[in-house]
Amino acid sequence: MTDVGTLALLTMLGAVVGLDFVSFPQAMLARPIVASTLAGALCGDAGAGLMVGVLLECFALETMPFGASRYPEWGPASVAAGAMASLNPGDVHAPSRLIPFAVLAGLACAFVGGQTLVWLRRFNLTVAARYRDELAAGDAAAVVAVQWTGLVVDFGRAGAVTALYVMVLFPLRNALAGMLHPEMDPIAVAIVGSIGVGVAGGAVWKVVHNTKGYQWWLLAGLLIGGTVAVVI
Amino acid sequence: MAIEVYRIDDRLVHGQVVVGWGQPLALGFIVLVDNLVAESEWEQDLYRMGVPPEMTVHFESTTSAMEHLREYRLRPEHGLLLTGDTATMRALVEGGASIGAVNVGGLHHRAGRSPRMRYVFLDPTEESDLRAIAACGVDVSAQDVPSALPVPLDDLLTRSGG
Amino acid sequence: MSAAPTLPAFTWLRVFARLFAVQGSYNYEVMIGNGIAYAAEPAFRLLPGGRGGPAYQAALARHSRYFNSHPYLAALAVGALVRAELDGEDPVRIERFRTACCGPLGAAGDRLVWAGWLPFCSALALLAYGAGISATGVVALFVGTYNVGHVALRAWGLRAGYREGLKVAAALGSPVLRQGPLHVARGVALVGGAALPLTLHRVRADHPFSIGIELALAAGLAAALSRWQGRIDGWRVGVALLVLFLLYSVVR
């Protein structure tokens, strides 16, 4: 289990990246590759956080927030997942064994987080409705109140869900990791990596397939990357 | 048939249309049916700027859309027909446009409208328009992006809130 | 159109800073409408009658109504709307402009940012990871590169919107917005293509299994998702496969 200080730091990080995701300032600190790595660094293993962040980023590439559609919330989920893979498990489980569970936990939390964003938007609506007459009259104080209430509540929401994820996931973490068949240890990360890269491949194709001549650019990239991977 | 989707969306040309539907369907053109926009050059300029250079937007009034629909359907590229309100789509359907399915993609908050889903708010006239469209044998459902599950009209009209 | 009135530097700065919080009260009724009013408010203080005057209040009331667009390109709308208000444009024309620019700003922003710049920066970060760069380096590269584009787009939008006013279609015709997504998409293809094998290579570096099986799984999944595009979310398929694998690992 995490100590109170680490939990507080993770909660604060989750609140910051959760606020960043939609409300302020959308600098993409909420992307898994950032949030999970920062969480890993806070917990003493930036490398493990980065690996989970990279794998979650592969999935996140597939879910861009087009036109106000509903999407998973990656920030707090990535903080929890990065921490899950980085904090010393306190027993014999190899950190690599935690990676698949951390990725899955991150994906599940991102889905839950997306739902809390829907609740936040409904809450924002009730606040705006409370000020409806003042807003219609052009009252600047009402405009500021509605805006700041949304920002503050989003910050609190993101911190709360991060704390919740960490407190729920950590007791589960060691129990689940202990259930993994030892023979699967060496291949678990490789398989999860393949699934993540496959999803990212589909996402890249989705982004570029309407672009004239995309095949050649993609092929050139694959050849360069493939060659370097073989050589190094 | 070149027109793949018939959509009602009060935002007209926007991200869900151009990227959300445009990318998977490889849309080559959009037919925007709106009597006011069809007469407004500066609004047409704005909407043209919202689509990629390889995609074209054609502006039609309800009447001219009925006249040109056959030509659009014979085009080799994939297309999407867009109206900003239910009344225009109803006029097309009842005018004999032979539309198989109508996608309610977004009708947002306005005085008099009640929430049905987070992206669909309807007033009584709009509900009756949608019922009239369905009564012509058209499959009416709400769906913002292709990967979302379509919500059939009967289900949509029983919902309240997002 | 007359020349744009000069805004004090501090007013620019306040409007610009508030643009970063334009989605702060996002809701399903007015979307980012309140955020637009919040961002533009410092400039409305320059309207005749000053802060709290009838023109100021009328402008705030108008702009806190429904509005939705891409959050970064909302800067273009805010610039144009501030200019229109300071020019004393007809409120009916302003209202029509607000309605008409939502969609195009959303579409242009989605193409350039969510379907272009963000995937490009993600792919670049994956490439850096695959090339063996440290955690600090990967994060700095991603955050730095992304935000150069992000901040520049907001700053350009505010200036261009204010310069063009309601004739903002001219600004939307900028080569950055028209041709930019095409070039960025090519960059995504090239960088993403290079990043995928390198990412897989580094992820499996300490836990090699069978490169043949790994490559076949990744390529097969990518091909299947490309084929089913628009009908299914790839990340849901990925989650399902992950659950199946972990269940198999546990019960085996």
Hey, are the CB atoms on B52 and C111 less than 8 Å from each other?
A: yes
**pLDDT mean over B7-12:** 95
pLDDT, tens only, A85-94: 988 655 545 6
Q: What is the mean pLDDT of chain C?
A: 93
Residue C200 is assigned to a structural domain of this protein:
yes
Minimum distance, in Å, between the CA of residue B23 and any CA atom of chain A: 7
Query: Residue C53 sits in which domain range?
Result: 9-208
CB-CB neighbors (< 8 A) of C235 in chain A = 59-60, 62-63, 72, 107, 199
Report chain A residues whose CB lies below 8 A from the CB of B115.
none
Query: Are the CB atoms for C123 and A204 separated by under 8 Å?
Result: yes
Q: What are the distances in angstroms from CA A167 to CA A92, A163, A172, B128, C144?
A: 21, 6, 9, 50, 32
| Averaged pLDDT, C96-109 | 91
- What's the domain count of chain C? 1
Strands B139-142 and B151-152: antiparallel
Residues 6+ apart with CB under 8 A from C11: C42, C43, C45, C46
Rounded to 5 degrees, what are φ and ψ at C21?
Answer: -110, 25
User: What is the band of A97 on the pLDDT scale with cuts at 50, 70, 90?
Assistant: confident
Residue given tokens 């960025």 in the structure block: C184
The bridge status of strand B27-33 relative to strand B56-60 is parallel
pLDDT band for position C247 (50/70/90)?
A: confident
d(CA C93, CA C118): 34
Specify whether the CB–CB gap between C157 and C75 falls below 8 A: yes
pLDDT band at C2 (very low <50, low <70, confident <90, very high): low
Task: Judge whether C66 is closer than 8 Å to chain B, CB to CB.
Answer: yes
Q: Assess whether pLDDT exceeds 90 at residue C207.
A: no
pLDDT greater than 50 at residue C122: yes
Q: What is the 3-state secondary structure (H, E, C) of C33-92?
A: HHHHHHHHHHHHCCCCCCCCCHHHHHHHHHHCCCECCCCCCHHHHHHHHHHHHHCCCCHH
Contacts of A13 (CB under 8 A, 6+ apart): A35, A38, A39, A42, A79, A162
Q: A216 — contact with chain B (CB < 8 Å)?
A: no
Average pLDDT over every residue of A121-134: 96
Distance from CA of B80 to the nearest CA of C (A): 15
Residues A158, A75: Cα–Cα separation, whole Å:
8
pLDDT in tens, C226-245: 988 777 888 889 899 999 98
Q: What are the backbone angles phi and psi of residue C247, rounded to the nearest 5°?
A: -60, -45
* C-alpha span between C211 and C208 (Å, rounded): 7
Active site residue: B14, B58, B68, B108, which one?
B14
pTM, rounded to two decimals: 0.92
Query: Which string of b and e fits C136-161 if b means at least 16 CB within 10 Å?
Result: eebbebbbebbbebbeebbebbbbbb
**Among A62-66, B17-21, B61-65, B84-88, the least confident range:** A62-66
ipTM of the modeled complex:
0.95
**Residue type for position C116:** G
Q: What is the DSSP string of C128-158?
A: HHHTT--HHHHHHHHHHHHHHHHHHHHHHHH
Residue B14 appears among annotated catalytic residues: yes
Residue A182 has pLDDT above 80, yes or no: no
Examine residue C68 and state whether it is found in any structural domain, yes or no.
yes
Q: Check CB contact of C114 with chain B, cutoff 8 Å.
A: yes
Judged by average pLDDT, the poorest of A90-99, A154-163, C99-108 is A90-99
The mean per-residue pLDDT over the stretch A10-31 comes to: 98
pLDDT tens string B111-158: 899 999 989 999 999 999 999 999 999 999 999 988 888 999 999 999
- Quick one: pLDDT at residue A89? 57
- To the nearest whole Å, the CA of A212 is away from the closest chain B CA by 9
A-chain CB neighbours of B145 within 8 Å are 66-67, 69
C23 backbone dihedrals φ, ψ, rounded to 5°: -95, 15
pLDDT score of B162 more than 70: no
Q: Is C244 within a domain? A: no
The mean of the pLDDT values for chain B is: 93
Residue A115 pLDDT greater than 70, yes or no:
yes
Residue C103, domain member (yes or no): yes
Name which of C103, C230, C231 is nearest B50 (Cβ-Cβ).
C103
**Residue C78 pLDDT grade (very low, low, confident, very high; cuts 50, 70, 90):** very high
- Residue C8 sits at φ, ψ, to 5 deg, of -60, 145
Comparing CA positions, the residue from B81, B13, B83 lying closest to residue B52 is: B13
Pick the CATH number of B3-158 from 3.60.15.10, 3.40.35.10, 1.10.579.10, 3.40.718.10: 3.40.35.10
Nearest CB to C25: which of A139, A146, A192?
A: A146
Say which residue, B162 or C38, is predicted with more confidence.
C38
Chain C closest-CA separation from residue A221 CA (Å): 4
Give me the sign of the Cα torsion angle B46, B51, B54, B58. Answer: negative
Average pLDDT over residues B65-72: 95
Taking CA–CA distances from A71, the nearest residue in chain B reads B148
Does the CB of B108 have a partner CB in chain A at under 8 Å? no
Q: What's the rounded Cα separation, in Å, for the pair C126 and C190? A: 12
Q: CB contact, 8 Å: C96 with chain B? A: yes
Q: Which long-range contacts (CB under 8 A, 24 or more apart) does A53-56 make?
A: A53/A78, A53/A82, A54/A196, A54/C126, A54/C129, A54/C199, A54/C203, A55/A99, A55/A103, A55/A192, A55/A193, A55/A196, A55/C203, A56/A32, A56/A81, A56/A103, A56/A106, A56/A107, A56/A110, A56/A196
Q: Which two tokens stand for residue C196?
A: 């995928």
Is pLDDT of B24 > 90?
no
In 3D, which of A106, A107, A90, A89 has the Cα closest to residue A98?
A89
Chains in contact with B, counting 3 or more C-beta pairs less than 8 Å apart as contact: A, C
Place of tokens 């787009």: C153
State pLDDT tens for residues C13-38.
Answer: 999 999 999 999 999 889 999 999 99
Is C214 a member of any domain?
no
Cα A223 to Cα A84, A145, C98, distances in angstroms: 35, 54, 47
> Among residues of chain C, what percentage have pLDDT more than 70?
99
